[in-house]
Every structure is written in structure tokens, then in C-alpha cells.
Structure 1
Amino acid sequence: MTDPSTTPPPEIRDYQLAESVGYLISRVKSTMSNMVTQKAMAELGITSTQASILFMVASGKCLLAAELAREYGIDASAVTRLIDRLEKRGLLTRVRSSEDRRAVRLALTAEGCAIAAKLPAIFTSVLDRLLSGFTPEETGFLKSMLRRVLANNVDSNSITRDTASNSDARQ
């Protein structure tokens, strides 16, 4: 453990955390998540992560545990624990696929569907509060920039895959 009285090295001391895009995005994500949790917990008795999973299943974007793991960038065991909690609460079920017995799809129960239907209003109210004072043009620009950030990740993933397959081909 470092001594709290020592001066940090210049790399740390000179780094402007408040000017870091990564730090700012992380803080916004954390703030949004906390606000959704407060509202969803008060109104529906679920956390923001549970709300997000219910919404992804309800929307059809993620119907398998592996899809949720990829979407959120978390390991399969963490997703399994989240699904277990939601299943125990009676909000979703696991359904074995009739086409592929190995695949287990996620489906919302009637109560899960009722909760999922209330989530867009919660998400919207949180964003309305956080984007208060933004013009529609500024909000559109922010979304455009965030989409570009995400697209850069997709592009870098394909470059990484291409590099790996080229490397495999040479070996």
C-alpha cells in the first residue's frame, strides 16, 4: 500500500481527470445508473441492472444469456447470477429451445412484462433530468458522437479479428 503522505508521480499528478473523456463518460454512466436504480427501486423494486436486463429481453435484443454477457461486457457467470435473481423473483424464465436443445432462451413472465412496460418512462425521466437545458440539436449531436464512439469500437474489433486471422494464416 502506498503512503498517503507521499507526492504522486508526475504522470498521476499532472493528469487532468476532470478533462478525461473516459472519466466523464464513466461518471455519467454511474450517475444515470444510480438515478435509474433509485427510481426503479422505489417504483418497481428492481435495480437499474435488473431493469436493463428485463428491457433487453422484452425488446428482443437479447434473448440468450450469452447475448446479455456480450452486450454488457460481463462474464457469463455474472449474467447467470443476475438471471437467477430475476427468475427467483418470478420476472423471467428460462425456456429450452425446441430447435436446439442446448440453447436456453429467456422469456419474461406476465409480471416481468408489466414491469418492462414501465421502464421506458423511468429511463426517459432520468435522461430528461440529466439533459435538462440541452437543446434538441445538442441532444442529437451528443447521440451522434456516442454512436461514433461505439462504431469505433466495432471497427477496432474487426481490425483485431482481421489481424488475428492474418496472424493465424501465417503460422
Structure 2
Amino acid sequence: MTISHLNAYLLVTKARVTLEKWMTAQLKSAALTITQFRLLELLAKHGGTSPVQCSMRLGISSSAVTLVLDQLESRQLLTRARVPSDRRSLRVQLTQEGTNVHAQARAALQSSQMEAEERLPTTYFTSLNALLECLELLPGDRLSVVHKRHR
């Protein structure tokens, strides 16, 4: 069966909306938005980074990153500190509370994913993973270029 570009677009859009609703519901227990979780995930993976790197890696504007950093810092989930060797630069790092909240949110997402996988045939997830790997290799996307550059 051949799927037209329009149908593929509509299916991917539907999948994105469905995943966003699912993630939003799962992240409520940690009182996080998807963007906030993505930022915590980035900091957990890289052990701290600059706001500019956060913007590039998340594919959002620097003003959006500043807003999310402000929200998370007010909850004491991260700290921003000047880099000693360059006072113009900031380094963002998770606090212990940020690490705990990130772990709680990640566990909620993984638990829910495992429940979904138990209800659906394994072949669905195998096919989905193969498709996502193919999509990641497609050129022309600003985020994929940034993602490949920072691997």
C-alpha cells in the first residue's frame, strides 16, 4: 500500500498530537510541561550546558529557553552560574531536586510506555522504531543538522 505525502503528513501530525497528549498527562505527576521535561532531560544527559546550547539542542528560541529556565529555577530544579573562565557565559545544571523530579518524570513516562507496549503487538513497535530511525536520517531539517553536529 502506498501512502501519499498528504496522508503521511496527516498521520504524522495525528501521531504527534497523540504523543503530546499522552506525555502531557504523564508529566502532570511531576508538574512539568513537555518543554520543561525536554530541558531537564538535556541537562541530565549532558551534565550541564549553556543556555545557547539548550536553545540549539531543543530547537527553540533563546527567549523561550530563558522562560523555561526561569520556571525551573524558581522551583529550584536547576541553577544558572557564571563560568569562571568567561564571566559573560552561563552554565546551567540540575540541582539534586531537579535530578529527582527528572527521574520521577522519566519513570512515569517509561512505565506508561511499557503498559502501552503490553497492549499492542511487538511488531507495531518494531515497525515504528524502524520508521523513526529512517526519519532521523532524512536531510534538510535544522534540528537533524544540529543533532548530528552535537553527537
- Could you tell me the TM-score, scaled by structure 2's length? 0.75
Matched, 1:26 2:30: no
Cα offset, 1:130, TM superposition: 4.8
**Among residues 33, 36, 41, which one is paired with 1:47 in the alignment?**
33
Q: Which one scores higher on RCO, CA 8 angstroms, separation ≥ 6? A: 2
Segments of 4+ moved more than 4 angstroms: none
Q: RMSD of the alignment, in Å? A: 2.7
Cα offset, 1:118, TM superposition: 1.6
Structure 1 residues 118 and 147: alpha-carbon distance in aligned structure 2, compared to 1, 3 A threshold = same
Cα offset, 1:120, TM superposition: 2.3
Unaligned runs of 5+ in 2: 146-151
Counterpart position of 1:166: none
Aligned-partner Cα distance in 2 for 1:134–1:102: 52
Write out aligned runs for 1:111-126 (5 A). 111-126=97-112
Cα offset, 1:104, TM superposition: 1.2
Counterpart position of 2:149: none
Higher strand proportion (structure 1 or 2): 2
**Among residues 24, 29, 43, which one is paired with 1:37 in the alignment?**
24
Aligned-partner Cα distance in 2 for 1:77–1:124: 30
Matched, 1:59 2:59: no
Cα offset, 1:34, TM superposition: 2.1
Cα offset, 1:37, TM superposition: 1.9
Question: Larger Rg: 1 or 2?
Answer: 1
Aligned-partner Cα distance in 2 for 1:147–1:92: 32
Q: Secondary structure at the match of 1:102?
A: strand
**Among residues 102, 112, 116, which one is paired with 2:88 in the alignment?**
102
Q: Secondary structure at the match of 2:137?
A: helix
How many residue pairs get matched? Answer: 139
Cα offset, 1:116, TM superposition: 1.1
